[in-house]
Structure 1
């Protein structure tokens, strides 16, 4: 532990920039006391700092444009498919990347102009593609030849659909295997040689316009070198109008973790583009995690503290609302919101309430003597946490609240038991007792 430093001081680099302590030593974000938010909206609770979210979006949009004026920053919405974030991203000048039908409908409901939407996916169905064509999405990123066949059938005469081909650059992003997507054995994209042939084949097509190519090598990448390698891999595909360089920039999730800055990332990416790509091409990037992660935190309430040779602190959430730890092994830090200025003096197993030994939120979390009813905050959870919420053990998905200038605004209401039961209404309407199979006949 860092001697004599409070939790707030130690975690300043992973908390939202507006995080502070009030006169009572309580954590505030966006001018709102977190313990008050927990009392009003319940826990678990996803909290987003709107000011820092907008600031990060501007840094990406403006930073890219300064380095390469003919460019567009696109928000990879799978990192946080929240209607309010779609609307904020569009208002800050970002395009929107969607990877499924629900994300497409959320973007449209948020008022995002369809031509700003980019449709991804390695297994798009006819229905998905037909809907995208119907609403007029700006770009469809083609992953495979079967999808190309579907588009030939589905794009009507008199319409032209802009396409990018996703390529396999053969680059190891040096990240967790579950987030590494640029290698030659990835399920995403096509080899560069195949893409080159398809581009030639579609030249002059009356309905399908191949604008360029797309490359994405993974997520939570903590070194800039793989990004340059991915751009270099596109060199044989010269003379195209558009090069989408994907996303993947990592962030610091816990105390002591180091990540490249936005400037380091953009300098590397655009430096490689200047060396290997046409100077008149349009450059796109698709940051997701690095756009939203730091602006979000998750708040829990302590339910149990237990000594069994180790100290266990159990909260009222877990794998149902925070599955990334189990999925990727990512480490996080935590603090007690109602004692943010206290100095940590214990190491505990911060665990969730789901019925799995793997429901460990933080191994050896450094906290100041946790107590029942404390409000525990885990910073840097603005990406993929809400995305992967689920109903494990019948858990209800948490609410999402945005804070700014001392005001809190509910963006997503908490799921209820009634919501869960509605999905099971067909079973509720059936008399299962009368249709039971007698034991002797089984």
Structure 2
């Protein structure tokens, strides 16, 4: 997909969005949208040295294909660009034991936000001291387990949680390191559901209301809690540093206030992240080196203005590591032209997955692109909507895409940029079986998360 001028086609054809136009070469990939090893050979998509047709022959569709080299390279890029920071991989984006090991091997830390994610991390042998634990409603058993496991930092999100965590520390006779999550009142330019620093939402303590400072005071006063610093997160799918500049100014001002009014100099600060990726060519993500330069300058400038020492910083790249490293491969089941008012035609292309393996289009109105992955085609392009097989009109995978007009049942389609939140948010809606995750590298494909079976569906159905 491209963001150039709109297109005009044959009479009766449907016009796409103004930014969508026919691809210059329908058999080529747009590198920005794909993992680094992805390319086409005679129209066939290859990732990690493995033809996706061969992946499908062995593992069927739908399937998530994860480019290990690309994942590792993106992890290293953030680690090296933010060498003076602690970089935390977002377990919620996608986590399994294999990926947790990759994260550890590439020198990153890990964020988890549930007991289940912590279970996976510990099963993988991840050092708990390098784990941060998020969440706005962590229960006593969850906190007790995290503290007992030696989790390196717990990000507290409410006064109740501070009290609860203090009780856990007392019961276990230990001290746990704490960060206080604050809301800086910044409106991130992203979807409402993934903007997290404005006042009217569930996360964090408001700086403006004074709750953030009061939370700091309570942590300092609690036995068994060691105040590590403040945590700020303005949202995700963010492409520039302007929001971070405003947030950093407000959070660092609170950091200075804590020093003068509470008498505590906090050693660290987490600036969040949530850096954006390219789902279509409308998106223009920044590279890690650029982000590191801009964010470091912001912090340096603000600390100098406040006359305070720079705390050790942490960031959370979010989807930016795993998102572009994975694509989803589907098999086309039906191709159906639908006549619309005015004589226009939209072609609906149905695949064998849908909202059960990628809910983001329905949930966030997210845009994706796709490509014919199994063969070359010289047929003229047609504007299509790629939809799933579920019993929902909103079961859309790709809202608008040009695909060859000779598409047929049995062809393979691949959707890039599905590494973040697609498998993590996958469901059994309509009792669908969640797809496998196939890691590819150096011409070898291996299952790291197997496909669910009907026995898995029935395993929790105890009957009556």
- Would you say same fold, with TM above 0.5? yes
Q: Are 1:276 and 2:302 matched, yes or no?
A: yes
Match of 1:299 among 329, 336, 342: 329
Q: Are 1:36 and 2:87 matched, yes or no?
A: no
Please list the CA deviations of residues 121-174 of structure 1 after superposition, one character each: whole Å capped at 9, or x if unmatched. Answer: 001111110110111100000001000110111113641100000001000001
Please list the CA deviations of residues 31-73 of structure 1 after superposition, one character each: whole Å capped at 9, or x if unmatched. Answer: 00011111211111001100010000001011001xxx2x210
Which residue does 2:15 correspond to in 1?
A: none
Output aligned runs, 1:32-71, within 5 Å.
32-65=50-83, 69=84, 71=85
TM-aligned CA distance change 1:342 to 1:120, over 3 Å = farther
TM-aligned CA distance change 1:170 to 1:123, over 3 Å = same
Which residue does 1:436 correspond to in 2?
A: none
Q: Are 1:127 and 2:141 matched, yes or no?
A: yes
Which residue does 1:433 correspond to in 2?
A: none
Q: CA deviation at 1:84?
A: 1.5
The answer as to whether partners of 1:224 and 1:260 remain within 8 angstroms in 2 is no
Q: CA deviation at 1:205?
A: 4.5
Match of 1:362 among 398, 420, 426: 398
Q: CA deviation at 1:343?
A: 7.2
Q: Are 1:375 and 2:428 matched, yes or no?
A: no
Which residue does 1:290 correspond to in 2?
A: 320
How many angstroms apart in 1 are the aligned matches of 2:220 and 2:353?
53
Which residue does 1:114 correspond to in 2?
A: 128
The range that moved more, 204-213 or 171-180, is: 204-213
- Structure 1 stretches of 5 or more lacking a match? 431-442
The answer as to whether partners of 1:298 and 1:379 remain within 8 angstroms in 2 is yes
* TM-score, normalising length: structure 2: 0.88
Q: CA deviation at 1:340?
A: 5.5
Count of residues paired in the alignment: 421
Q: CA deviation at 1:290?
A: 0.6
Match of 2:174 among 159, 180, 183: 159
CA-based RMSD of the aligned residues comes to 1.6
Structure 2 counterpart SS, 1:357: coil
Output aligned runs, 1:239-258, within 5 Å.
239-258=265-284
The answer as to whether partners of 1:77 and 1:103 remain within 8 angstroms in 2 is yes
Match of 1:19 among 16, 27, 38: 38
How many angstroms apart in 2 are the aligned matches of 1:3 and 1:314?
21
How many angstroms apart in 1 are the aligned matches of 2:377 and 2:233?
41
Match of 1:8 among 28, 33, 36: 28
Structure 1 counterpart SS, 2:317: coil
The range that moved more, 104-113 or 278-287, is: 278-287
Q: Are 1:176 and 2:191 matched, yes or no?
A: yes
TM-aligned CA distance change 1:296 to 1:41, over 3 Å = same
How many angstroms apart in 2 are the aligned matches of 1:406 and 1:170?
48
Q: Are 1:330 and 2:360 matched, yes or no?
A: no
Match of 1:389 among 422, 426, 434: 426
Q: CA deviation at 1:201?
A: 4.1
The answer as to whether partners of 1:35 and 1:338 remain within 8 angstroms in 2 is yes
- Structure 2 stretches of 5 or more lacking a match? 1-20, 257-264, 340-345
The answer as to whether partners of 1:75 and 1:89 remain within 8 angstroms in 2 is yes
Which residue does 1:418 correspond to in 2?
A: 455
Match of 1:185 among 190, 200, 203: 200
TM-aligned CA distance change 1:63 to 1:283, over 3 Å = same
TM-aligned CA distance change 1:178 to 1:3, over 3 Å = closer
Q: CA deviation at 1:188?
A: 0.1
Which residue does 2:375 correspond to in 1?
A: 339
The range that moved more, 196-205 or 40-49, is: 196-205
